[in-house]
């Protein structure tokens, strides 16, 4: 992923460190040739909100999916609020202190704010231009340069996805930076990877994603049908070599994120799951505690994409490529 950072807000408000500059030319209403007639959501439009009918790139590494609702923010003409469709979430973690990692968090809300950095007056817009939907900043007559800031809104624990956020200018807001931001489609569920097309459709997770309680609970429930014997040994094993002889390592799609996890070969044979091919590995194929030839490489974006192991209660040792701030982090074998 990109170096996008988020801020929690009292509800908790999260602000990203991704900015896009906008420069105004004389007589131009908005940058990029966008005219008033192209704007479908803005300060002067009758629309209070719009629902995306196509994906909308919002910031580096973050693309809002179809069905996202963008709305004018009450009491703040310089911001829009976006709500992700059911099943989609932004994930990340709070910044740690004293060399300790922060808490993993997830959210279905966010905002886009335009701030004038030279002059005054700069507001966001959503426009339909040349068949493409775009979001940007509309510079006022007294502003010559502004930045677009992409943010996330993280609800307080126990509030649920239906929370209505207070005005963005609420003075009670508490800001806490979070990192490892990623957009995850939880509608994808959990499944075994059995062919090249399925593998190509996955991306690498972040450590924060794997630490989310809802992710671990779902993985635990899924694995109960694929792990049966020698469970204490499975849960203790830190490397593949320490697994029981009847266990193999399977490639899995965890909400579209690629991981490797131990499964009971005897149980899955009995259930008719005979998919042991290039996506399931025997202990004999392991080297130095992981699958031989298993590598992580960052193909696009910042640093990161390193081999990771995460011990998950009632699952065992899960192996993956930790994307961190790498936008395209690829697992290869």
Instruction: Note the Cα 66 to chain centre separation in Å.
Output: 15
pLDDT of residue 224: 92
Contact, 304 vs 333, CB < 8 A? no
Rounded CA Rg of the chain:
23
Q: Which residue has the tokens 């982090």?
A: 329
16 pLDDT higher than 50: no
Give the residue-averaged pLDDT of 9-20: 39
Give the residue-averaged pLDDT of 143-172: 58
Better-scored residue on pLDDT, 192 or 14: 192
Of 17-26, 215-224, 259-268, 271-280, the poorest mean pLDDT is in 17-26
Contact, 328 vs 299, CB < 8 A? yes
Non-local CB neighbours of 117 within 8 Å, separated by 6+ positions: 145, 146, 147
Six-digit token string for 6? 């988020």
Better-scored residue on pLDDT, 179 or 88: 88
Helix or strand (DSSP H, E) at 223: helix 213-223
pTM: 0.80
Distance in angstroms (rounded) separating the CA atoms of residues 6 and 29 = 30
Strands 316-322 and 132-139: unpaired
pLDDT of residue 291: 62
Give the residue-averaged pLDDT of 211-239: 93
Q: Name the residue among 152, 141, 81 with its Cα closest to residue 116.
A: 141
What share of the chain in percent tops pLDDT 90? 34
Give the residue-averaged pLDDT of 74-83: 86
Q: Name the residue among 239, 230, 193, 206 with its Cα closest to residue 320.
A: 206
Distances (CA, A) of 188 to 184, 185, 280: 9, 6, 21
Q: In what order do the strands lie in the sheet with 13-23?
A: 13-23, 143-153, 109-119, 79-83, 69-72, 49-51
- 163 CB-contact burial (10 Å; exposed 0-12 / middle 13-18 / buried 19+): middle
Question: Tens digits of per-residue pLDDT, 98-109?
Answer: 778 788 888 888
Six-digit token string for 86? 């059911």
pLDDT winner (highest mean) among 125-139, 141-155, 164-178, 241-255: 241-255
117 pLDDT higher than 80: yes
Distances (CA, A) of 106 to 87, 128, 217, 319, 327: 11, 30, 15, 22, 19
Question: Tens digits of per-residue pLDDT, 243-298?
Answer: 998 898 899 999 999 999 999 988 776 555 555 567 888 766 666 555 656 789 99
pLDDT of residue 155: 56
Non-local CB neighbours of 164 within 8 Å, separated by 6+ positions: none
Better-scored residue on pLDDT, 182 or 8: 182
pLDDT of residue 235: 94
Give the residue-averaged pLDDT of 221-248: 91
Q: What's the full length of the chain, in residues?
A: 333
What share of the chain in percent tops pLDDT 70? 75
pLDDT of residue 26: 37
pLDDT winner (highest mean) among 17-21, 119-123, 163-167, 203-207: 203-207
pLDDT of residue 44: 85
Report the 3 state secondary structure along 139-202: ECCCEEEEEEEEEEECCCCCCCCCCCCCCCCCCCCCEEEEEEEEEEEHHHCEEECCCHHHHHCC
Mean pLDDT for all residues in the chain: 79
Give the residue-averaged pLDDT of 5-33: 44
pLDDT of residue 199: 93
214 pLDDT higher than 60: yes
pLDDT of residue 322: 93
- 39 CB-contact burial (10 Å; exposed 0-12 / middle 13-18 / buried 19+): buried
pLDDT of residue 178: 67
**pLDDT band at residue 321 under the 50/70/90 scheme:** very high
């Amino acid at each position: 992923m990109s170096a996008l950072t988020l801020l929690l807000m009292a509800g908790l408000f999260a602000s990203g460190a991704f900015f896009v500059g906008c420069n105004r030319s004389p007589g131009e209403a908005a940058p990029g040739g966008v005219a008033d007639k192209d704007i479908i959501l803005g300060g002067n439009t009758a629309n209070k909100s719009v629902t995306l009918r196509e994906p909308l790139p919002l910031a580096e590494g973050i693309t809002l999916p179809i069905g996202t609702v963008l709305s004018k923010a009450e009491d703040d003409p310089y911001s829009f609020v976006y709500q992700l469709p059911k099943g989609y979430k932004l994930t990340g973690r709070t910044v740690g202190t004293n060399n300790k990692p922060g808490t993993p968090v997830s959210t279905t809300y966010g905002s886009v704010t335009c701030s004038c950095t030279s002059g005054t007056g700069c507001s966001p817009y959503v426009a339909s231009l040349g068949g493409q939907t775009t979001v940007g900043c509309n510079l006022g007559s007294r502003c010559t340069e502004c930045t677009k800031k992409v943010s996330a809104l993280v609800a307080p624990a126990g509030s649920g996805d239906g929370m209505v956020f207070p005005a963005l200018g609420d003075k009670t807001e508490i800001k806490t930076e979070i990192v490892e931001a990623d957009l995850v489609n939880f509608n994808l569920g959990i499944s075994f990877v059995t062919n090249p097309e399925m593998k190509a459709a996955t991306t690498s997770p972040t450590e924060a994603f794997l630490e989310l309680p809802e992710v671990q609970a779902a993985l635990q429930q899924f694995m109960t049908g694929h792990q049966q014997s020698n469970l204490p040994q499975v849960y203790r094993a830190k490397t593949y070599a320490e697994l029981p002889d009847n266990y193999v390592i399977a490639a899995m799609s965890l909400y579209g994120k690629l991981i490797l996890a131990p499964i009971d070969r005897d149980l899955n044979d009995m259930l008719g799951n005979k998919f042991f091919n290039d996506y399931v590995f025997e202990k004999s194929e392991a080297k130095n505690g992981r699958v031989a030839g298993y590598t992580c490489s960052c193909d696009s974006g910042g640093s990161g994409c390193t081999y990771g192991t995460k011990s998950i209660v009632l699952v065992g040792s899960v192996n993956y490529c930790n994307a961190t701030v790498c936008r395209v982090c690829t697992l290869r074998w």
